[in-house]
Amino acid sequence: MNQPFSRERFDQMPLVGILRGFPAAQMSKMAELYAQAGLTTLEITMNTKGATDTIASLVQAFGTKLNIGAGTVCNMTDLHKALEAGAQFIVAPIVDEDVIKKCVSLGVPVFPGAYTPTEIYRCWSLGATMVKVFPASKLGPGYIKEVLAPLNQIQLLPTGGISLENMGEFIKAGAKGFGIGSALVPKQLVEQEAWEELYQHFTEFVTRYKTFLNEN
């Protein structure tokens, strides 16, 4: 039986590590170090080769320690494949109302991607767990603050261009979590199998996030 998404685990460290294009053979080691560092939530994008097999194997191996989800879910076909693989949550770069509604009906957490206030509010009104603001790097923390002024009930997950250097500003602006790709999981360290260095890199994100949170 598939393990359900743990909101408690997510809230302890709401950084979603985005794994796109990594070899399946390295995923297990990466997930092991990710959990050991205190990170809790991993997204495997559906446009990664062998994504469904990777999701299935990671859920089986780490489903009680990590939230393992599917990203780049852009339509119902992607959604069905992701859920069949055992994905514990769903992330999208766009607003697809059918995907959101289906996830809500099944009780599967869904993080759809939105850009404008209208898109953000629409996602939330449809039942999104959080709204992924994408691409956040083009908008900046000021945009998050301005959107949340009238829409303060919405939980936002900025994604795209988030780093150790700017994460604190986004937290100050009101972000409740982040989707982070290459800044959190550098491909060079994985390619070199520099596992100790990768682990230290993960722990730095954990430490900095906690520090930023306490400051705000």
Q: Catalytic annotation on 65? A: no
Q: What is the pLDDT of residues 167-213, one digit of tens each?
A: 999 999 999 999 999 999 999 999 999 999 999 999 999 999 999 98
DSSP letter for each residue of 130-148: SEEETTGGGT-HHHHHHHH
Domains annotated for the chain, with CATH where assigned, are 7-215 (3.20.20.70)
b/e 185-205 (16+ beta carbons within 10 angstroms → b): beeebbeeeeeeebbebbeeb
b/e 56-73 (16+ beta carbons within 10 angstroms → b): bbbbeebbebbbbbbbbb
Q: Catalytic annotation on 132? A: yes
DSSP state letter for 105 = H
Whether the CB-CB separation of 82 and 109 falls below 8 Å is answered with no
Please give the mean pLDDT across all residues of the chain.
96
Q: What is the pLDDT of residues 132-167, one digit of tens each?
A: 999 999 899 999 999 999 999 999 999 999 999 999
Whether the CB-CB separation of 100 and 128 falls below 8 Å is answered with yes
User: What is the widest separation between alpha-carbon atoms in the chain?
Assistant: 46
Q: Say if residue 1's pLDDT is above 50.
A: no
Q: What is the pLDDT of residue 60?
A: 96
CB atoms within 10 A of CB 44: 31
- Say which of 29, 49, 97, 132 is annotated catalytic: 132
Q: Say if residue 59's pLDDT is above 60.
A: yes
Q: Residue 178: is it exposed, middle or buried by C-beta count within 10 angstroms (0-12/13-18/19+)?
A: buried
CA distance between the termini of the chain: 39
Sign of CA dihedral 196, 201, 202, 207: positive
Residues in contact with 214: Cβ distance below 8 Å, sequence separation at least 6, in sequence order: none
Q: What is the pLDDT of residues 4-14, one digit of tens each?
A: 999 999 999 99
- Say which of 32, 43, 101, 146 is annotated catalytic: 43
